[in-house]
Amino acid sequence: MPEGLIVKALSGYYYVKPDAAAPGETVQCRGRGIFKKKGLSPLVGDRVVYTPTENGEGTVDEILPRETELIRPPVANARLAVLLFSLKEPDLNLQLLDKFLVHIEHAGLRTLICLTKEDLLEEDESARDQDLTAQVKELYEQIGYEVIVTSSMTGSGTGEVKSRLAGEISVFSGQSGVGKSSLLNAMLPGLSLETNEISMKLGRGRHTTRHVELIELENGAYVADTPGFSQLDFLELGVEELSTCFIEFREIAEGCKFRGCSHLHEPGCKVRQAVDDGVIANSRYEHYVQFHEEMKEKKRRY
């Protein structure tokens, strides 16, 4: 039986791209009733076995084993998260950036940080802004993340991002209005995804993406264009897991005096020592403390 990739799920239908099919060629399928009985649901990104039906449509018979599974957005087999944050309009928000990184680490994906809208750095502020951009890039690269500065208007960095996506299923994520659709349009001319202007009053864009769909690039990349999030909660994450989602804490934390150290007040904490010594950035530790408090507060409420 033929195999393929679910590239879109909409109104109870699964659009399967058969192996070796041309870009954009899909078979509209229904899922078998047995999935519901088993509590399974096919996801965008799933590799599946399907049976063609006489009317040119098909039935999804089997979901092949998944490498990864995301709950929000609901995508299977993504291995790379492309995290987009703008340098301007809205201004760069490192606390929110770190919050997204926590969720991506918890999901077990690799991360590519894209700092977008480089073209909006105004000339009279360019020295200060360029300095800040360089500092942020250096901070996250030292932690171990890959960082690319991009502009969809000038095309700067878009080729680099595109080549990084080759052969991967990637999830585009980040704050609303930072240029996700614009970057995808720049990488795939003719795509024409809907984009919206930023509300200057709110400092954020309106969501332009309504459902999860894999967009295919000609280099074998599939990009899940997903709704932007303006906020994230920590309901899926245990407070004891938080420190492992700060990747620069992991090795250092092994030297802490107490097993299960919260890195907040325990004596002999190597993570706090590393902050004092400048090995761990103050901003990262401050956000860790804030997230820890936020999670404890949520736990008390629920």
**Per residue in 133-161, pLDDT tens?**
899 999 999 999 999 999 888 888 999 99
Annotated binding-site residue? 245: no
Number of alpha carbons in the 13 Å side-chain half-sphere of residue 268: 8
CATH top class, domain 75-225: alpha beta
Is the pLDDT reported for residue 23 higher than 50? yes
Annotated binding-site residue? 179: yes
Annotated binding-site residue? 178: yes
Q: Are 90 and 178 in contact (CB under 8 A)?
A: yes
- At residue 122, the pLDDT reads 58
Annotated binding-site residue? 269: yes
Annotated binding-site residue? 118: yes
Annotated binding-site residue? 263: yes
Mean pLDDT of the chain: 85
CATH of segment(s) 239-301: 1.10.40.50
Domain ranges in the chain with CATH number 3.40.50.300: 75-225
Q: Three-state DSSP class for 201?
A: coil
Q: What is the largest CA-CA distance in the chain?
A: 70
Is the pLDDT reported for residue 244 higher than 60? yes
Encode pLDDT of 39-87 as tens digits: 889 999 999 999 999 899 999 999 999 999 887 778 999 999 999 998 8
- At residue 126, the pLDDT reads 58
| Separation between Cα atoms, residue 198 and residue 192, nearest integer Å | 18
Burial of 130 (0-12, 13-18, 19+ CB in 10 A): middle
Q: Which residues contact 256 (CB under 8 A, 6 or more apart)?
A: 263, 266, 268, 269, 270, 271
Annotated binding-site residue? 117: yes
Instruction: Answer yes or no: CATH 2.40.50.140 is held by domain 3-65.
Output: yes
Annotated binding-site residue? 114: no
Domain ranges in the chain with CATH number 1.10.40.50: 239-301
> What does the block give as tokens for 95?
């606390």
Annotated binding-site residue? 31: no
Amino acid at 71: I
Annotated binding-site residue? 181: yes
Which pLDDT band, with edges at 50, 70 and 90, does 201 fall under? Answer: very low
Annotated binding-site residue? 119: yes
Which pLDDT band, with edges at 50, 70 and 90, does 213 fall under? Answer: confident
